[in-house]
Structure 1
């Protein structure tokens, strides 16, 4: 939940559960868009820094003052996949055949590992 505060010159945007998530706008449409943007950036930053992402405070538990209202801010997070580099050894003839076929070794290994894990 984001809180929009209409009491100043601009619409202030805050999040009760994310102190560092702040923004402002001149109109409601921009405020809604910026609330979504700042929420996404804040959550991505917390994921990258391995910080806690709190559950949102329920709407009926947010104390509002005159000139404030809540909105539901939303975003889609596509967490970055971390990769590990591995060194492996292949029979020479298998390596030559795979290279001649233009196979992507990383993709083939990932597929084989997923299939092997699915069978367990």
Structure 2
């Protein structure tokens, strides 16, 4: 499954370097010597942070809108995009259904796993 993420980053221009921070991801920090390097490093740190949070089953927050980020005169915002390939972990489940339903579903060529996944997603959407 491919996941795309876009978060605002704050670039803080100092005399020595460009500090890179993500308002929504406190642990995502870096620095660079040029704007080009800052863009690359911002994407790298965003990718690593999202991957780490996914591996640790931590929350991925919603990005803060750019107009809600307060900046000092030495700061600028950029939008940083990353795309990750995320492996899906599968769990095996055993279930019992009525015999006549099983016969009819098999005759119709239904994929039981796909039907159950769709039903579970639909049910979860109802409960949001």
Same fold at TM > 0.5: yes
Deviations 1:62-97 (A, max 9, x none): 000011000010100111222558xxxxxxxxxxxx
- In structure 2, list runs of 5 or more residues that go unmatched: 1-7, 93-110, 120-128
Q: Does 1:21 align with 2:28?
A: yes
- In structure 1, list runs of 5 or more residues that go unmatched: 86-111
Instruction: Provide the secondary structure at the position in 2 that maps to 1:2.
Output: strand
Number of residues paired by the alignment?
Answer: 95
Counterpart residue number, 1:55? 62
Counterpart residue number, 1:38? 45
Higher strand share: 2
Counterpart residue number, 1:95? none
Runs of 4+ in 1 over 3 A off after TM superposition: 112-118
**What is the CA RMSD across the aligned residues, in angstroms?**
2.3
- Taking a change above 3 Å as real, the CA distance of residues 8 and 17 of structure 1, as seen in their structure-2 partners, is farther
Counterpart residue number, 2:125? none
* Bigger RCO (CA 8 Å, 6+ sep): 2
Greater Rg, structure 1 or structure 2?
A: 1
| Separation (CA, whole Å) in 1 of partners of 2:20 and 2:112 | 46
> What TM-score, normalized by structure 2, do the two folds share?
0.65
- Taking a change above 3 Å as real, the CA distance of residues 113 and 59 of structure 1, as seen in their structure-2 partners, is same
